[in-house]
């Protein structure tokens, strides 16, 4: 994820230390000695930290370990501010790409259709007779800058079928 790499660069600058696995529930402290957040998950490469304001994905190698547990070279306020700015930038880029006729793919890279109409936060996507309305916040830009629904094709189809009573 492009934004994760940018955030990591801003948070990094740690003293060289082998990052140890951060366990779910551990408190992460900042360079000011105060809590930054709690580890929600760790898949070995990405650690999800809940700051209470945001759920921030961070590369596992930006953490250092002290005798009190995992630590970051930032404060909670700095991390929240950096992540909020990245979310705002991503939303602005998505909104700029949200125009009638723009192609939309699913999270598993399958064609979903094209933007037909935009009614506030409701985005109507159409491909022939297929029509689906998605909320704006269920769309983002993928790594290629293309509009992407934040769900797999099968999940969208299952939700549509369930909504139609099938």
- pLDDT of res. 67: 87
In sequence order, which residues have a C-beta less than 8 Å from that of residue 146 and are 6 or more positions away?
97, 103, 104, 105
Domains, the chain, ordered by start: 2-93 (2.30.30.240), 98-163 (2.30.30.240)
Report the predicted TM-score, pTM, of the whole model to 2 decimal places. 0.76
Quick one: DSSP state of residue 141? E
Provide the CB-side half-sphere exposure for 129 (13 A, CA).
0
Kindly state the average pLDDT of the residues 133-145: 95
Kindly state the average pLDDT of the residues 134-147: 95
- pLDDT of res. 19: 44
Evaluate if residue 133 carries a pLDDT over 50.
yes
Question: How much of the chain exceeds pLDDT 70, in percent?
Answer: 87
**Confidence bin at 166 (pLDDT 50/70/90):** low
* pLDDT tens digits for range 3-51: 454 455 455 444 333 445 578 899 999 999 999 999 999 998 999 999 9
| Count of Cβ atoms closer than 10 Å to residue 34 Cβ | 10
Quick one: DSSP state of residue 32? T
Evaluate if residue 72 carries a pLDDT over 90.
yes
Quick one: DSSP state of residue 165? T
């Amino acid at each position: 994820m492009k934004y994760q790499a940018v955030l990591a660069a801003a948070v990094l600058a740690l003293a060289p230390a082998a990052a140890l696995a951060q366990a779910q529930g551990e408190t992460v402290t900042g360079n000011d000695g105060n809590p930054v957040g709690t580890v929600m998950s760790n898949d070995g490469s990405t650690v999800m930290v809940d700051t209470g304001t945001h759920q921030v994905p961070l590369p596992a190698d930006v953490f250092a370990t002290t005798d009190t547990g995992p630590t970051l070279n930032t404060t909670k306020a700095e991390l929240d501010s950096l992540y909020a700015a990245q979310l705002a930038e991503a939303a602005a880029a998505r909104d700029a790409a949200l125009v009638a006729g723009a192609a939309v793919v699913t999270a598993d890279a399958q064609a979903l259709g094209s933007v037909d109409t935009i009614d506030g936060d409701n985005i109507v996507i159409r491909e022939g007779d297929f029509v689906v309305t998605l909320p704006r916040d269920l769309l983002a830009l993928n790594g290629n800058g293309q509009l992407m629904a934040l769900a797999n094709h099968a999940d969208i189809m299952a939700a549509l079928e369930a909504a139609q009573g099938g």
